Structure 1
Amino acid sequence: MMKALLLALLTATPALATEQDEVISAQILPGWQQSNGHHMAAISLTLAPQWKTYWRSPGDAGIPPIFDWAGSQNVKSVRVLWPSPEVFHTNGMQTIGYHDAVVLPIEVVPVDAAKPVALQARVDLGVCKDICMPAVVDLTARLGESRSADPQIEAALRDLPKLAQAAGLSCQVQPIKDGLRVTAQMVLAVQGAGETVIFEAGDPAIWVSEAQSQRRGDRLTAVADFVASGGAAFALDRSAITLTVLHQGGSVEMQGCPAP
């Protein structure tokens, strides 16, 4: 993990000659208020041609976005929703993210649904092309009582991963020198070309390796290593594991991976 972060920072050094405004712009789309009182808004990121930014689980050479909502008013919680990303391969490394532009829907739960929301967001993220650079965007918006849906946000919501219930999904866990090796087995029809399996531990302190997967008909097997910071021992929460199968044109997502 630390090695990947240092690599990202070192890679970013040549980007000092590139201004952030040249490669990324951002805004909050205020969206609409739902019948339950929650607001469906979005953060819209526009990148220069061929530039990319990263998904919530970006791979070893990527930088995950960090969201800070401090300063917002009448906000109880904010949940970021992630449209299906793409898989990139650069210099033998796999990263996961979005190129050119992305709309990230956000579900904002107000303290008082009868009052407007003043949303304030600070987003730290990485952007890359031939070089990488850190970027910080500060955004504000007032969310009112509009009931009119935004087509951009609706399109992003349609591109969220489909929730799947794979038959016979189970995870075998075995100890390795510095952590645990998790082998997931499931019956899942071929989703599309270029399938890539991503494991997430549900705990940011646990690093997860790039998964190795193989398919035999409808049977999909994927293996990844889980390692805690410093190689410390840890208890694996199977219910917190997220399995995502990315493919060209979309993705499917499964939550939890029980024992066989």
Structure 2
Amino acid sequence: MRILTTFGLAAAATLAATLCASAASSAWHDSEGGRIRLVTSGQPDSAGRLEGVLEVALKPGWKTYWRDPGDSGVPPQLDVSASTNISQAALSFPPPRRHEDGYGGWAGYDHPVSLPVVFTLATPGSPAVIDANVFLGMCETICIPVQASLKLDPSSAPNDAGDAALVQAGFSALPAEAKADFGAKALPGSHEALVVEATAPGKASAVDLFVAGENGFMFGPPSREESGGKITFRIPVLDRPAAPPTGAGLPYTLTGETGAVQGLLPYP
């Protein structure tokens, strides 16, 4: 009986893994603060790009982080190196809000959120299996790191209506591209601070700026000033790379009364 039981457990585990790998959405991974899964929809385009979302179903009272959570948070991370025929996965982020937890301020979400992902096939037109290692933080009074391996076959059910609606909603929630009357621009500053002027329709009091410290930069909480109809943010530079980065710039999200936009700021 012991041999049969062991064999049965092994068979069940194999079957479960097979089922997860043959679904266009992964199985849920449960944690104390909620659960997460990956969902894809549709067929890859001619360049091999496939849209999906990392769905984060938070429990009431729990929060998770934006792309730059501050000096002590855990930003969402997605590693697809164990996948088959997937060369990269690019996460995007809907507009965050500021939160205070008694230890400091940080940017993130206090509600269930879907983070859009664009997967790129290494060889367009060939089969692919997404095997992703996901790492993020969920916070109540304390923050708990959540790590999960999420696996799926995006070709198994590409036309599922529920998956399509979830993915479409995730991408629709992203900030629009910045424009002249709703955006941010860097002003002359100093080595110690990034100074940014923001322009947005609606009430000035509703405007907030989130700048992602990437490529070796780390920023402190911004201070803001309203004068002469202009809104200026001064963002302390806590750390910077030894050499100027070669990237396109620092991603920012500007929120206001009428919505949110995103863009890039030059490195200070």
TM over 0.5: yes
Counterpart-to-counterpart distance in 1, 2:140 and 2:224: 28
Structure 1 residue aligned with 2:96, among 85, 101, 124? 85
Contact 2:97/2:109 (CA < 8 Å) preserved in 1? yes
TM (normalized to structure 2)? 0.75
Q: Which residue of 2 aligns with 1:28?
A: 38
Q: CA deviation at 1:228?
A: 2.6
SS of alignment partner, residue 155 of structure 1 = helix
Q: Which residue of 2 aligns with 1:200?
A: 212
Write out per-residue CA displacement over residues 197-240 of structure 1, whole angstroms, 9 at most, x where no aligned residue: 1223431x2211111122346522111122336xx755377951
Q: Which residue of 2 aligns with 1:161?
A: 175
Q: Do residues 174 (structure 1) and 174 (structure 2) align?
A: no
Contact 1:187/1:218 (CA < 8 Å) preserved in 2? no
* Equivalent pairs, count: 233
Q: Which residue of 1 aligns with 2:51?
A: 40
Structure 2 residue aligned with 1:240, among 249, 253, 260? 249
Q: CA deviation at 1:109?
A: 1.1
Q: Do residues 65 (structure 1) and 76 (structure 2) align?
A: yes
Let me know the Cα RMSD of the aligned residues: 2.9
TM (normalized to structure 1)? 0.77
Counterpart-to-counterpart distance in 2, 1:249 and 1:48: 28
SS of alignment partner, residue 144 of structure 1 = coil
Contact 2:116/2:167 (CA < 8 Å) preserved in 1? yes
Q: CA deviation at 1:54?
A: 0.7
Q: CA deviation at 1:60?
A: 3.1
Give unpaired runs (5+ residues) of structure 2. Answer: 1-29
Structure 2 residue aligned with 1:49, among 39, 44, 60? 60
Counterpart-to-counterpart distance in 2, 1:192 and 1:29: 37
Give unpaired runs (5+ residues) of structure 1. Answer: 1-19
Distance 1:61 1:181, change over 3 A: same
Structure 2 residue aligned with 1:151, among 160, 165, 189? 165
Contact 2:60/2:111 (CA < 8 Å) preserved in 1? yes
Write out per-residue CA displacement over residues 128-163 of structure 1, whole angstroms, 9 at most, x where no aligned residue: 112221111210011118356611111111110111
Q: Give matches, 1:52-131, under 5 Å.
A: 52-91=63-102, 93-131=104-142
Distance 1:249 1:190, change over 3 A: closer
Counterpart-to-counterpart distance in 2, 1:102 and 1:109: 22
Contact 1:190/1:218 (CA < 8 Å) preserved in 2? no
Q: Do residues 254 (structure 1) and 268 (structure 2) align?
A: no
Contact 2:134/2:148 (CA < 8 Å) preserved in 1? yes
Counterpart-to-counterpart distance in 2, 1:258 and 1:165: 20
Q: CA deviation at 1:251?
A: 2.1
Larger gyration radius, structure 1 or structure 2: 2
Distance 1:243 1:27, change over 3 A: closer
Percent identity reads 21
Q: Do residues 184 (structure 1) and 196 (structure 2) align?
A: yes
Q: CA deviation at 1:73?
A: 0.5
